[in-house]
A = this chain, B = another copy of it.
Amino acid sequence: MKVSERKRIDIPGLADGVFPAQCPSRTLLDHVTSKWGVLVLLALGIDTMRWSELRRCIEGISEKMLAQTLKTLEADGLVRRVAQPVVPPHVEYNLTAEGRELHDRLRPLMEWVAANADRIIEG
């Protein structure tokens, strides 16, 4: 067995789809783990929210990045945009079924991070 093959990634249940450079997993992974993507998914997992609520809730996000993030996640079918044709506009965002599946798997991670951050980062 050659050295280059010794540590080939072959994870049971993770059918070598994460590491190859040009695979969809990398793209989706980048969207989901993007700086703001995680926080948006986490926020919407708690409750349906309006644009301005998201802005307040996710402290530090700019309008540009909120728009960009929402658009990406919507295109990925993880977030649903519900617009009501009234004046002034009333738009809500919530998770699709797939977005919720993702949220459920993101949640334990976030809880661990929240619980351990103080100790790890110069608490």
Contacts and interface: CB of A to CB of B under 8 A. Distances in A.
B111 A108 contact: no
B116 A18 contact: no
A43 interface: yes
B111 A109 contact: no
Give the copy number.
Answer: 2
Q: Which of A47, A78, A116 has the most CB of B within 10 A?
A: A116
Interface of A: 4, 6-9, 11, 13-15, 17-21, 23-25, 27-30, 32-35, 38-39, 42-43, 46-47, 49, 53, 56-60, 76-78, 98, 101-102, 105-118, 120-123
A7 B59 CA distance: 13
A20 B78 CA distance: 24
